[in-house]
Amino acid sequence: MSLLQHYEDQLTRLKHSGNLRTLTTNVQQARWITIQQHTMLNLSSNDYLGLASDLDLREQFLSQSSAYLSSSSSRLLTGNFAAYEECEDVIAKAFGREALLFNSGYHMNLGILPAITDAKTLILADKLVHASIIDGIRLSSATYVRYRHNDLVHLQTLLEKYHDDAAIERIIVVTESIFSMDGDETDLTALVKLKATFSKVMLYVDEAHAIGVRGERGLGCAEQYQVMDQIDFLVGTFGKALASIGGYLICHQVIKQYLINTMRPLIFSTALPPLNVAWTAYVFEHMQSMVAARSYLNQLSHDLQQQVRLKGYSSPSSSHLVPIIVGESDVALSKANVLQQHGFYIMPVRPPTVPKASARLRISLNASIQQAELAQLVQIL
Ligand SMILES: *Cc1c(COP(=O)(O)O)cnc(C)c1O
């Protein structure tokens, strides 16, 4: 009893500060989500292109696939089914460089960063990078310093400070292209330019929220800004717009071989089911031609950003992720409640996911949302 008391106290504390989280069951159909018999427009999903809820696409795929439902081992043992290499080929061909797959975006960041760094490495990471990146850094033996969010001037100052330190062999700059919680973007053009002036620097960019959504062929912000070849570690997930599961890295052949030999989550975890990997390849090919959906989503996003600001709210967004920052957790919680009662499934995001006093409503748009639905939402705001 007394051993459990400690955890119970923590939960009580979370509850009192409005930060207690619980799991809720839901039923999803197209752009709708039903929770406890209340059906709402789903504005919290990462299914940005509506592909996860595209039943026709799923039927087409399943009618021609009979892949295994388990790989039964890691890829280095007997798990390396043809589906893996076929999927890597599809992705490598699209990016024009080598590709390596991982079980999830979380595995990817958790595994790559410790593998590619040592005590002679300095990691410079944006202050707002995803938890999986933070955990990867924590597992590494590198020293690390965080630069102010999206502040490339601060990054440059740090690079100048550390670059000529003889004890540092390489500096890895880690950032996201579109940030999950702010929906703002890194200036990749400027970042790549900055990198080019320092010989020890390698770039690591996470495109989790940009893959499928940005660039002519949906390859992310790196494609949009034409910097794909200048990013040493270009990573992303299949769990969001790609409607599947898994992570990928676009890199040099040497890095790929090195990771196959050193990356612990790749070596010591059972590889994804071949069926999922075949589905990823299928969706990835399909996604590249969805130019109209991408352009519609970008238009919708600009409209919402503008209208949210016209309503007097602050939002740093320049993407399909549009947070409305309200401050305290209880305010976010009660505003989210009102919106949900009106049929819009928007979730509050609270500390510790975001910094203290920056609790927010996070609107996550997708290409199947209609203009009229957003107009209604804005009215309620
Ligand atoms: C979602 C996310 C991940 C994790 O990807 P999963 O495939 O869901 O594990 C990693 N990085 C960023 C920036 C993310 O938003």
Which 3-state string (H, E, C) describes 157-211?
A: HHHHHHCCCCCCCEEEEEEECECCCCCCECCHHHHHHHHHCCCCEEEEEECCCCC
Categorize the per-residue pLDDT at 76 as very low, low, confident or very high, splitting at 50, 70 and 90.
very high
pLDDT of residue 18: 76
pLDDT at 118 over 70: yes
Q: Provide CATH 3.90.1150.10 ranges for the chain.
A: 18-49+290-380
- Distance, CA 105 to ligand 1 centroid (Å)? 5
CA 107 to ligand 1: nearest atom: 9
Give, in degrees to the nearest 5, the angle at Cα 316 between 312 and 322. Answer: 85
Q: 2-6, 152-156, 233-237: lowest mean pLDDT where?
A: 2-6
Q: What are phi and psi of 376, to 5 degrees?
A: -65, -45
pLDDT of residue 2: 87
Q: Report whether residue 207 contacts ligand 1, using a CB cutoff of 6 Å.
A: no
Which residues 6+ apart lie within 8 Å of 95 measured at CB?
219, 228, 234, 250
pLDDT of residue 96: 98
Categorize the per-residue pLDDT at 17 as very low, low, confident or very high, splitting at 50, 70 and 90.
confident
Measured CA to CA, the distance from residue 161 to residue 73 in angstroms comes to 45
Which tokens hold the place of 100?
Answer: 């390596």
pLDDT of residue 352: 83
- Nearest CA, atom 12, ligand 1: 208
Q: Which of 204, 237, 280, 362 to mutate to test the pocket of ligand 1 (most atoms within 8 A of CB)?
A: 237
Which tokens hold the place of 205?
Answer: 């960019």
Q: Report whether residue 182 contacts ligand 1, using a CB cutoff of 6 Å.
A: no
Q: Do 322 and 365 touch, CB atoms closer than 8 A?
A: yes
Measured CA to CA, the distance from residue 214 to residue 49 in angstroms comes to 11
CA atoms in the 13 A half-sphere facing the CB of 265: 23
Q: Report whether residue 236 contacts ligand 1, using a CB cutoff of 6 Å.
A: no
User: 284-301 pLDDT, tens per residue?
Assistant: 999 999 999 999 999 999
pLDDT of residue 205: 98
What is the percent of the chain with per-residue pLDDT over 90, rounded to a whole number? 94
- What is 18-49+290-380's CATH topology? Aspartate Aminotransferase, domain 1 (3.90.1150)
User: 184-202 pLDDT, tens per residue?
Assistant: 999 999 999 999 999 999 9
Measured CA to CA, the distance from residue 360 to residue 348 in angstroms comes to 6
Q: Report whether residue 209 contacts ligand 1, using a CB cutoff of 6 Å.
A: yes
pLDDT of residue 381: 87
pLDDT at 135 over 70: yes
Q: Do 192 and 230 touch, CB atoms closer than 8 A?
A: yes
CA 238 to ligand 1: nearest atom: 7
Categorize the per-residue pLDDT at 311 as very low, low, confident or very high, splitting at 50, 70 and 90.
very high
pLDDT of residue 362: 96
Which tokens hold the place of 144?
Answer: 């690390």
* Residue count (the chain): 381
pLDDT at 91 over 70: yes
- Distance, CA 247 to ligand 1 centroid (Å)? 8
Q: What are phi and psi of 29, to 5 degrees?
A: -145, 120
pLDDT at 222 over 90: yes
Measured CA to CA, the distance from residue 299 to residue 296 in angstroms comes to 5
- Distance, CA 316 to ligand 1 centroid (Å)? 20
3 state DSSP class of 261 = helix
Q: 67-81, 188-202, 252-266: lowest mean pLDDT where?
A: 67-81
pLDDT of residue 1: 65
| Average pLDDT score over residue span 264-285 | 97
Domain 67-287 of CATH type 3.90.1170.50 = no
pLDDT at 257 over 70: yes
Which tokens hold the place of 246?
Answer: 């898994």
Q: Which of 44, 106, 107 to mutate to test the pocket of ligand 1 (most atoms within 8 A of CB)?
A: 106
pLDDT of residue 335: 94
Q: Report whether residue 130 contacts ligand 1, using a CB cutoff of 6 Å.
A: yes
Q: Report whether residue 104 contacts ligand 1, using a CB cutoff of 6 Å.
A: yes
Which CB contacts under 8 angstroms, 24+ apart, belong to 220-229?
220/177, 221/177, 221/178, 221/185, 221/186, 221/188, 222/177, 222/188, 225/188, 225/189, 227/188, 227/189, 227/191, 227/192, 228/95, 228/96, 228/97, 229/96, 229/97
